[in-house]
Structure formats: C-alpha cells, structure tokens
Structure 1
Amino acid sequence: MTTIGIIGIALLVILLLLFFYYVPFMLWINAKVSGVNISLIQLFLMRIRKVPPTKIVTCMIEAHKADIKEVTRDGLEAHYLAGGHIERVVHALVSASKANIDLSFKMATAIDLAGRDVFEAVQMSVNPKVIDTPPVAAVAKDGIQLIAKARVTVRANIKQLVGGAGEETILARVGEGIVSSIGSSESHKSVLENPDSISKLVLRKGLDAGTAFEILSIDIADIDIGKNIGAQLQMDQAQADKNIAQAKAEERRAMAVATEQEMKSRSQEMRAKVIEAEAEVPQAMAEAFRNGNLGIMDYYKMKNIEADTSMRESIAKPEKKDKNNK
C-alpha cells in the first residue's frame, strides 16, 4: 500500500470520527427507541452550541418515562447554558411527581440556579431532616444557669427555597427561643421538671417564617445545670462595693493626713510668729523704759507674775504624771 493510500485511509477515519462526534447517530437511535422526538440536526446543533447531547437526551428520556411533559429540549439547553444542573433538576421533578409534590420545571430551575440542591430539597420534603442545635446556655430568674440541647425536625418548604433563609437561621432562632423560655422561668427546677414547656413556647413563636424550611417539632434532648450566675454576680457586686469602700476610706485617710500636715504647718508658722514676737518684747520694753511708759516697779511686777506662773506650772506637772501612772 502506497503512502497516498495510507494517508487517504487516515483522513477517512478522521472524517468518520468527526462526523459521528458532531452527528451522534447512536444517541439519536437511543432517543427514538425511548420515544423522545429529536432530530439529528438538533443533536448536531447542540455540538455547535457546546451543549452535551448525551446529557440532554438522557434527561429527556427520564422525563418522558416519568410522563413529565413540561421538560423540553430548549428548556434543558437554556438551563445548562445558564450554569444549572439539568440531571439534578430532572431527578427532582421525577421525585416530586411520584410524591405528589407540586413542583414545576420553572420553579425547579430557579431553585437550582439559586444555589440550592433541588433534588435534596424534594427528598427532605418527603423525609424530614433532624438538626441538632449546639449547647444553648440560659439563666432562669433564680440565677441558675441551664445548658440545653435541642433536636429540630424540619421539612423543606419548596415555595420558600428561593430567597428563604437556611439552617443557620433556624438554629439561631431556636437558640433565641430557648434562651427566652428559660429566662422567663421563675425557677430552674420548673424547667427541669417540664422541659416540654420550652418546646411548646418556641413552637408558638413561628420561627420558620421567612425560611426555606417548615419546623415540624422541637424536642429538648438534654438539659444540664451550669453555674450559679446569680450568686456569682452578687459576689462580684460585693467585691466591687468593697473596693469602692476601700477607695473612699483611702481617700478620707489621705485627706486627713493632708489636713494634719496643713495644721502642723500652720502651727509651725504660728510658733515662728510667737518666737518672733517674743524676740521683739525686750526691744519694746527698752523703748518703753526710754520713753517713760514703763517703770522699774512695773517691770518687777511682771517678773513676779512670770515666776509665779512658772512655779504653778511646775507644781501642776507632777500631778498630771501621777494621774497618768494611776
């Protein structure tokens, strides 16, 4: 065989592969056998539009066998080009149809494009999901802390999946309801005796409003006793009052010390003035002698008075000491 013949056979094989790639003849036969009406030209155009014909045909066959007439080729192509999961959407439509759940193709594609798993949502509508809340700590009116864990049974709300809040919102609202219920209880003992009172109170609040789920039940799985928050707060308050009282006492002591220092300073100033005045007495007396305002007899009388006063003081001091010793 010549080189030209080998090249010709290779080109023929390549052309056949390209033909069967862009014109999936076997896939068209599979669709026809399954009862799906689709042409080879449409399959060829799907390759041109970069839409996988195998996925489209498989989804159309599944929808046809489940008698879902609203699933069309154009709808599947548009949803695929928009970034959706066509297999998940068709699975969800088939499951919803079998479970008598009202779900349209338009709603299913909207839920899928919103980022939610529409097939899982349909399954959750049939089989409710149980969500365990993290430990929620709350304090009753008697000051005792309780730590509760709850199990929330939810069912997907198909109509609220687009724009509805998720599981995090449900958990947050249930936790808020538990805290409110325990906080309004007069005693922690009443909560321990009737934990179902928490569930009833929380359920009455309609916590599933605006969410993608419907709360079926809230069951308190466990309640533990925590700290005595009331006693701890009283101890902290007493310690704070003690610190305030100590600070005020220290402030008064400092003021007393400052006042005492001030009095000592004033006393020293007064003593200095007295000493200064006593130092001026001899000068004043000499001046009085020179001016004739003070005689010698007046001077002796003054000395006698001073001596008499000094003698009386010396006599009085031993008596004070004896009294102190007694």
Structure 2
Amino acid sequence: MSASTIFGSSFIVIIVLLIILFFTFVPVGLWITAFFSGVKVKVSTLIGMRLRRVRPGRIVNPMIKATKAGLNLDIESLEGHYLAGGNVNTLVDALIAAERANIPLQFERGAAIDLAGRNVLEAVQVSVNPKVIETPNISAVAQDGIEVVVKAKVTVRANIDRLVGGAGEETIIARVGEGIVTTVGSSTTYKAVLENPDSISRVVLEKGLDSGTAFEILSIDIADVDVARNIGARLQTDQAEADKRIAEAKASERRAMALAREQEMKAEVEAMRAKVVEAESEVPLAMAEALKNGNLGVMDYYKLKNINSDTDMRDSISKATNKNKKNKEQ
C-alpha cells in the first residue's frame, strides 16, 4: 500500500470524525427547527450554550413556543434565567397565559417570581381562576360559655404584584381563624352565631386580612357551624371542685387542731387526777398526825368515816341507776 493511499484514508477518517464531532456538539436539528419556526438563533450561540453547559433544548424550545405565541423575548435573557436556576419552560408558559388573560406580567417580574420559589404559572392560573382555601375546624367560645366549632372556605385570587415577599396560604388561614375566634367571642350567645353565620364572614372580611399576602381575598363563606362543649359550665364545675377541696383541707386542719387540743386537755386531766390521788394518799397520814397531836378527836374521825361511807353509797346508787337507764334505752 502506497503512502498516498494511507494518507488519503487517514484524511477521510479525520473528516468523518470531525463531522461526527460537529453534529454531536452542535445541535443542528434544533437549529433547523428554530429556523423554520421563525426563531433566529446563531450556530455560535448554540455552541456557546454547550460550552456554558446549558442544554440548548431547554432554551430554544421555550423560545419557539414564545415566538409562536407572539411574545418578543430575548434568547440571552432566557439563558440567563436558566443559569440563575429558574424554570424557563414554566416561565414562558406563564407569560403566554398572562398575555392571553390580559394580565400585565413582564418578563423581569415573572423571572423574579420564579426565582423566588413560587410557581409563576400557578400564580397566573389562580389570578384568572380564583382558588378556594378550606380552613380546619376552628374552635371559638361565645360569651355564654358555649363552644362553637366553625369551618370556613376562603376564596382567594393571586396578586401578581405581591407574589415576591408576600405571605402564603398559611398566613391567610391563620388570620381567618383569628378573625373567627374574635367574632364568635364577641357574640353574647352561641344562638346568635347559629342564626346569622354570615355575620362572621362579613366581619372577618372587613378586617383586611389579605394585607401583606400574595393573595386577594374575594369572599369568606362559613361552610359549617357545630355546637360543642359548655365551657362555662365546665369552668364553674372545676371551680366548685377546687373550692370543695380547699374546704375539705381546711376542715381537716381544724379537725387535727381539735384532736390535738383534746389530747392536751386529757393530759391536763390526767395530771390533775394524779395530783388528787397524791393528795388523797396524804390524807391518812395527815389524820394520823392530827390524832397524834390532838388536833382531831375520835368522834371527829368517826364522823368523817360516816361521811365517806355515805358518799360511797350514794355513788354506788347513782352508778346503778345510770346503768339501768342505759339498759332500758337499749
């Protein structure tokens, strides 16, 4: 094989490799589609996207969609939004939907909403077709102490101008719940709430609860009102039970003090009895001393004995009489 033949074969292989590399690196098919769709994009731009690690299809296809919808967008702006971490396809769909619904939404505004973490397409859809947010069961107590459980449905519409930095659905639900609790709490009786539930929605709606949120509240409808517990009666019962326990504690304290006083009195009586016994034990000695010294005569001694005998007899009769009475009573 001659050198010219080898060189020719090598040249052909190199050409084939270059062609394969070109078609692999340059999305020619995508460029042709864009060209026939009326989107003017340079091949160098597509190569630059490859070098910047941007998938050209993620930029060119939304650009084709926007062009066909009549939007005038810049492909560099779309690529910049993609590099910033945004969703180009969703942004273009939102811009098209806003254009069809006559909603003033600029590309910069939509890109800011998308980069803020909100679904810009859903925001446009909610702006066109209002969304219903259902609150959980909200417990409130009227002035008569009856608990009322309320569930409401809040119809909201997205506010495009406040989507960036505006509060979400959780804030709407919390504010509506607070307004319901306040309104029911100001009612004199739970019957007034049951008879006129639309007064709750009217009062709550007048509070301007959508201030600083990403939504505009269109209406607040009371879906359900249920009567629950009698909180006032329960509180009174708990208070009465607490008062009862306090009274029982004070009575126990007084009982303990009375028992202690009784024990003290018994101790005093026993001490007095001991003194009496001690004194009685000294009487015979004193009488003997008196007889010995002549201070007490024999007749006086016998008189004392007779008096003691009479006293003992009367005590015996009295005890027998009391015993008979007790037996008859039994």
Q: TM-score, normalised by structure 1?
A: 0.86
Corresponding position of 1:104: 106
- Per-residue deviation at 1:62? 2.5
Question: Per the alignment, do residues 260 and 17 of structure 1 end up closer, same or farther by CA in structure 2, a change over 3 Å counting?
Answer: farther
CA offsets, 1:146-179, max 9 Å, x none?
Answer: 2221111001111221122111111111111111
Corresponding position of 1:266: 268
2:257 alignment partner, one of 255, 258, 266: 255
- Match for 1:205: what amino acid? K
- Tell me if the contact between 2:287 and 2:296 (Cα under 8 Å) persists in the aligned partners: no
- Per-residue deviation at 1:267? 2.1
CA offsets, 1:123-146, max 9 Å, x none?
Answer: 100000011111212222222222
Query: What pairs up with 1:235-246 in 2 under 5 angstroms?
Result: 235-246=237-248
* Residue 20 (1) aligns with residue 20 (2): no
1: distance between equivalents of 2:290 and 2:115? 120
Corresponding position of 1:44: 47
* Residue 133 (1) aligns with residue 135 (2): yes
Corresponding position of 2:166: 164
1: distance between equivalents of 2:303 and 2:12? 160
What 5-or-longer segments of structure 2 have no aligned partner? none
Question: Per the alignment, do residues 310 and 20 of structure 1 end up closer, same or farther by CA in structure 2, a change over 3 Å counting?
Answer: same
Question: Per the alignment, do residues 10 and 247 of structure 1 end up closer, same or farther by CA in structure 2, a change over 3 Å counting?
Answer: farther
Corresponding position of 1:174: 176
Query: What pairs up with 1:39-118 in 2 under 5 angstroms?
Result: 39-69=42-72, 71-118=73-120
Alpha-carbon RMSD: 3.0
Aligned-partner SS, 1:234: helix
Corresponding position of 1:121: 123
Deviates more, 1:86-95 or 1:122-131: 86-95
Corresponding position of 1:144: 146
Corresponding position of 1:234: 236
CA offsets, 1:177-210, max 9 Å, x none?
Answer: 1111111111211111111001001101111111
1: distance between equivalents of 2:9 and 2:176? 75
Aligned-partner SS, 1:153: strand
- Per-residue deviation at 1:242? 2.7
CA offsets, 1:261-319, max 9 Å, x none?
Answer: 232233223322332333344445556666x4843456555545544544554565566
Deviates more, 1:177-186 or 1:213-222: 177-186
- Match for 2:112: what amino acid? A
Deviates more, 1:251-260 or 1:278-287: 278-287
- Match for 2:40: what amino acid? N
CA offsets, 1:98-119, max 9 Å, x none?
Answer: 2222222222122111211011
2: distance between equivalents of 1:316 and 1:201? 89
Deviates more, 1:49-58 or 1:302-311: 302-311
1: distance between equivalents of 2:171 and 2:111? 24
Aligned-partner SS, 1:21: helix
Aligned-partner SS, 1:148: strand
- Tell me if the contact between 2:132 and 2:155 (Cα under 8 Å) persists in the aligned partners: yes
Question: Per the alignment, do residues 270 and 30 of structure 1 end up closer, same or farther by CA in structure 2, a change over 3 Å counting?
Answer: same
1: distance between equivalents of 2:11 and 2:252? 110
1: distance between equivalents of 2:38 and 2:46? 16
- Per-residue deviation at 1:4? 11
- Match for 2:244: what amino acid? K
2: distance between equivalents of 1:8 and 1:271? 141
- Per-residue deviation at 1:18? 2.4
% same residue: 60
- Match for 1:105: what amino acid? F
Question: Per the alignment, do residues 274 and 121 of structure 1 end up closer, same or farther by CA in structure 2, a change over 3 Å counting?
Answer: same
Query: What pairs up with 1:170-209 in 2 under 5 angstroms?
Result: 170-209=172-211
2: distance between equivalents of 1:60 and 1:19? 23
- Match for 1:295: what amino acid? L
Question: Per the alignment, do residues 270 and 4 of structure 1 end up closer, same or farther by CA in structure 2, a change over 3 Å counting?
Answer: farther
- Match for 2:296: what amino acid? G
- Match for 2:27: what amino acid? P
- Tell me if the contact between 2:59 and 2:75 (Cα under 8 Å) persists in the aligned partners: yes
* Residue 295 (1) aligns with residue 278 (2): no
2: distance between equivalents of 1:93 and 1:322? 115
Question: Per the alignment, do residues 323 and 196 of structure 1 end up closer, same or farther by CA in structure 2, a change over 3 Å counting?
Answer: same
1: distance between equivalents of 2:101 and 2:191? 45
The number of residues matched between the two structures is: 323
Question: Per the alignment, do residues 78 and 299 of structure 1 end up closer, same or farther by CA in structure 2, a change over 3 Å counting?
Answer: farther
